[in-house]
Amino acid sequence: MEKAITRFAPSPTGYIHIGNVRSAIYPYLLARQSNGSLILRIEDTDRARYVEGATELIENTLEWLGLNWDEGPIVEGPHSPYFQSERQKIYHDWANKLIKSGRAYADPTPPEKIAEYREQCNQAKIPFLYRNFRPTDVPEWQPGIPLRFKTEPKNYSWHDEVMGDMHAGPEVLDDIILIKKDGYPTYNFAHIVDDAEMGVTHVMRGVEYLSSTPNYLAIYEALGLKRPKLVSLPHILASQGNKKLGKRDGAKSVTEYRDDGILPEAMLNYLACLGWNDGTEQEIYTKDELIQNFSLERIQTSGARYDETKLIWLNGQWIRKIFDEQGVENLYPRTQNFWPQSAENYPDDYKIKVLSIIYDRLKTLSDLRNMTSYFFEDPTIDLDLLTKNKFLKKFSESELETLLKQTITKLTNTKAWDADNVQNSLNELLVETDKKPAELFGLIRIAISFAPFSPALNLTMEVLGRETTLARLNTVARSI
């Protein structure tokens, strides 16, 4: 298999959202599968939109997901620098090649005049193409004057690895800006130069760039550069499926998902499969499985609908997978920022016991805050939970009090306090009280936790311990 040199080239203009990340995942998978390399390049030439700290956020996000890059910031490599703002001389050198060959010109036309040209076309109901308004008096190019590409309109054909064979006519070719007034290159020019200089073999980007491809092909041709393989990635759609997912649709940053208790394995798994599948019914993929099974041919051409519910479900599956396959010692370190505040002074071994009986109910790690608080502090007594419970509401207060006192006596006499002995005592109590499990066990569960649900009763009681369990049962019995 040909070694693929791929790149992820984000702009540091804010938080990194899920659409950005998927544009990093596919290049990463292809590079790893082919024993190639992934380049991280920071496209920071739009200085007006530059956000301080955004580059570090990009790096941290990739590291969190395990998408290690082979060249780029921190790592460095033979194609440094990796910040476009530091590559101006390179762009200017390539721009001068186009000037010398007559394929680029300085354009002193003021924006107001260009706006007039555009309005003329609107009035005439014809497409606006700047090449029809090229200035006749062209000065020598120098800082402060935009540089435009001088296109030669013609038909272009190319193959997109996802979309297939594509064609475009001369009507889409125009004199696009290569270097802006501030001396920085536009994306349209910079990415072509960078990809060529860095030896990129596969250019993966959103399908929204498909309409601009003919102009890119014209620049490749004018510079005498070999085209890389072009890979257009379908949009990630809002949950309704009617438009591209955006901030207004509730799209959160990857950092927010991390802080909400989403695991990197789940996020990587979900986004990789959002617009790609290997033709099977498999849903849970490790990173190694994704690398092994990934192929450009299986990227879908239509947009993929974003479903946060599916992500959360998948996260729950990964929590259980990590616990079952790697043990609690691998899952527990990931939970450090997600316990309730009341757990702060409890030792690790106690919290590990709690995690070991609650993990299979977690959908996100942040669920720990609400689902485990009664393990660390006495719950607030809410007798309505008893009177409204469908199994307990038929009992009078005195009957409930009697059941609790019988339970206290039985558990007080339980010899060894472990899950098996506690369960034996509970089973004996069922016979002695002639009650159904949903009735007796439901009463005990509410009395010791006042939570909507809890792990297996005997496991919960084992972790809480005899003293705490009996104290809570006594408190509720006195409160009825």
How would residue 63 be classed by pLDDT, with cut points 50, 70 and 90? very high
CATH class for domain 87-233? alpha beta
The answer to whether 127 and 266 have CB atoms below 8 angstroms apart is no
Q: What pLDDT was estimated at residue 17?
A: 83
Tallying the residues shown for the chain, one arrives at: 480
pTM: 0.93
Lowest mean pLDDT among 154-168, 220-234, 243-257: 243-257
Q: Tell whether the model's pLDDT for residue 18 goes beyond 90.
A: no
How would residue 452 be classed by pLDDT, with cut points 50, 70 and 90? confident
Q: What is the pLDDT averaged over residues 13-38? A: 93
Query: How far apart are the C-alpha atoms of 109 and 235, rounded to whole Å?
Result: 36
Which residues contribute to the annotated binding site?
A: 247
Q: What is the pLDDT averaged over residues 222-246? A: 90
Query: How far apart are the C-alpha atoms of 280 and 262, rounded to whole Å?
Result: 25
- Residues with Cβ within 8 Å of 354's Cβ and at least 6 positions away in sequence, in order, are 372, 375, 463
DSSP alpha helix (H) spans, 275-307: 287-293
Q: What pLDDT was estimated at residue 246?
A: 73
Query: How far apart are the C-alpha atoms of 433 and 403, rounded to whole Å?
Result: 8
Calculate the CA dihedral of residues 209, 215, 217, 220 and round it to 10 degrees. Answer: -110
How would residue 249 be classed by pLDDT, with cut points 50, 70 and 90? low
* Cis, peptide link before residue 347, omega less than 30° from 0: no
Tell me the backbone φ, ψ of residue 202, rounded to 5 degrees.
-130, 120
How would residue 88 be classed by pLDDT, with cut points 50, 70 and 90? very high
CATH fold group of domain 384-479: Arc Repressor Mutant, subunit A (1.10.10)
How would residue 53 be classed by pLDDT, with cut points 50, 70 and 90? very high
Write the CATH number of the domain with boundaries 5-83+237-305. Answer: 3.40.50.620
How would residue 39 be classed by pLDDT, with cut points 50, 70 and 90? very high
DSSP alpha helix (H) spans, 178-335: 187-198, 213-223, 254-259, 264-272, 287-293, 308-326, 328-331
Q: 87-233 and 384-479: same fold?
A: no
Q: What is the pLDDT averaged over residues 161-182? A: 97
Arithmetic mean of pLDDT over the chain? 95
Domain boundaries along the sequence of the chain: 5-83+237-305, 87-233, 327-375, 384-479
User: How does pLDDT run across 251-288, given as a tens digit for each residue?
Assistant: 788 999 999 999 999 999 999 999 999 999 999 999 99
How would residue 96 be classed by pLDDT, with cut points 50, 70 and 90? very high
Which residues contribute to the annotated binding site for ATP?
A: 247
| Short-list 157, 147, 135, 148, CA closest to 175 | 148
Give the chain's end-to-end CA distance (angstroms, integer): 73
Q: Tell whether the model's pLDDT for residue 20 goes beyond 90.
A: no
How would residue 401 be classed by pLDDT, with cut points 50, 70 and 90? very high
Q: Tell whether the model's pLDDT for residue 1 goes beyond 80.
A: no
Query: How far apart are the C-alpha atoms of 191 and 188, rounded to whole Å?
Result: 6
Query: How far apart are the C-alpha atoms of 174 and 134, rounded to whole Å?
Result: 11
User: How does pLDDT run across 301-353, given as a tens digit for each residue?
Assistant: 999 999 999 999 999 999 999 999 999 999 999 999 999 999 999 999 999 99
Q: Tell whether the model's pLDDT for residue 138 goes beyond 80.
A: yes
Q: What pLDDT was estimated at residue 15?
A: 83
Q: Tell whether the model's pLDDT for residue 242 goes beyond 80.
A: no
